[in-house]
Structure 1
Amino acid sequence: MTDFAGIQRGELAALADDLGALDPRQWRSPTLCADWDVEEVVAHLGSATRFTQWRWIRSMVGARFDPDVHNRRRLEEFRGATPQQTLERFRQVGPIVLPVKSSPFGLSEVIVHAEDIRRPLGLRHAPDAAGLLAVARFLAGRDFAVKSRTVVKDLALRATDADFRAGTGPEVNGPLSSLVMAMAGRPAVLADLGGDGVPELSRRLGR
């Protein structure tokens, strides 16, 4: 069985190392995650590591099941007075355990949000290969937190750098990390992808 928690720890530590090299201006840089800057994505990811199932449910009930309200409240709770304090808190986090420790969902959150930060900053990182492959299969197979399966319905995905294929229909091909980011709803990676299914995927992602 794949040790998703262990892989998460490695990916979280690698991200923390990259964050440690940022200057104050870069902490305010935009990311691929909606309108959040780098510190907000870090705080959001850090807050996700604190959830138990019951704490998540209580937070969602308190937010009247509005995920935007829930996410904003929890990231502000995690965020420090300065980016450096936020980073110090982030260095202490453990893996995301929802919905269960054996699920690749937590790893998908870590990999996607790390790329949300790194790509606009021009930072390169190769995620754990087995972990990335498991995340790709997870996102292609179900809608959970994001509508990843819906986004690629009736499209054939093929990684050009890994043993990954999923779905049938017009093909979308490219690096596995870019396919993962596309399934997570990030249109910025469309330039990395090829195949006759890209126009339809682009339409679905709002481009």
Structure 2
Amino acid sequence: MTFPWSTMDEQRAAVADLLESLTPEEWARPSLCTAWTVRDVAAHLTMQQLGVRDMLVRAPIVMRAKGDMNRAIHDMTVAQVHANTDAELVAGIRASIGSRRHTVGVTRYETLTDILVHTQDIAIPLGRTIATPPQAAAVAATRMMTMRWPRPFPIKQTLRLYCLEATDTAWRHGTGPLVQGPMGALLLLVCGRPAALDRLSGDGRAELERVLRA
């Protein structure tokens, strides 16, 4: 079965091409991922295939996080930034193309979500366009809205009060006031990116924006 690996490969190639074209100033720009620069997100994308041995090497970083997974991910990413040049980060992403591995403790669907969302975290603030495949985004969004572990984004509880509906693929989730738009924008919303609100509409959109920005 090629899906979702083929989609991951396409996204990895696209984001590597984009990163390779950036100026030093663009590498340092803020991404959509809170408190992370474009370089930070790129470094994170080189860590989508960490096996048991890789995690053992990073065990001191994880232990210092004292159970805070977000802090552990942040600190591992910072270490990766410091250990690699921009060119090495691009090479690391390219090296993952064709691989069928994912980080220990998560599934290929979290890995799919990671590359789809973080590609946009980089591209959107830079004014670049990398298309998000709607069907792949639908699979990722369903995973985010139904999974219990890894812990889902806090926004999930808020979005349960709305009906989310894609306009470019057959995907609908939840009941309540309608929030609709491209599947890629809905995936960003599900993953806690308020920037996606500008691409959404529906009778629940304005209310949702007020709730999220409160």
Structure 2 matches for 1:7-156, cutoff 5 A?
Answer: 7-52=7-52, 55=55, 58=59, 60-79=62-81, 80-93=83-96, 94=99, 96-101=102-107, 103-143=108-148, 144-156=151-163
Tell me, in whole angstroms, the C-alpha distance in 2 between the residues paired with 1:89 and 1:75.
13
Q: How far apart are residue 151 of structure 1 and its match?
A: 3.4
Tell me, in whole angstroms, the C-alpha distance in 2 between the residues paired with 1:161 and 1:141.
21
Tell me, in whole angstroms, the C-alpha distance in 1 between the residues paired with 2:3 and 2:130.
20
Q: Report the aligned-residue RMSD.
A: 2.6
Amino acid at match of 1:43: A
Which structure 2 residue ranges, 5 or more long, are not aligned? none
Residues 122 and 166 from structure 1, CA distance in 2 versus in 1: closer, same or farther, beyond 3 angstroms? same
Q: How far apart are residue 132 of structure 1 and its match?
A: 1.7
Partner of 1:197: 204
Tell me, in whole angstroms, the C-alpha distance in 2 between the residues paired with 1:206 and 1:49.
35
* TM-score normalized with structure 2 length: 0.83
Q: Please give the per-residue CA displacement for 1:33-61, whole angstroms capped at 9, x wherever unaligned.
A: 00111001111222243244992894544
Tell me, in whole angstroms, the C-alpha distance in 2 between the residues paired with 1:110 and 1:96.
12
Residues 161 and 193 from structure 1, CA distance in 2 versus in 1: closer, same or farther, beyond 3 angstroms? same
The alignment covers a number of residue pairs equal to 206
Sequence identity percentage? 29
Residues 18 and 54 from structure 1, CA distance in 2 versus in 1: closer, same or farther, beyond 3 angstroms? closer
Which structure 1 residue ranges, 5 or more long, are not aligned? none
Q: How far apart are residue 81 of structure 1 and its match?
A: 4.4
Structure 2 matches for 1:167-178, cutoff 5 A?
Answer: 167-178=174-185
* TM-score normalized with structure 1 length: 0.86
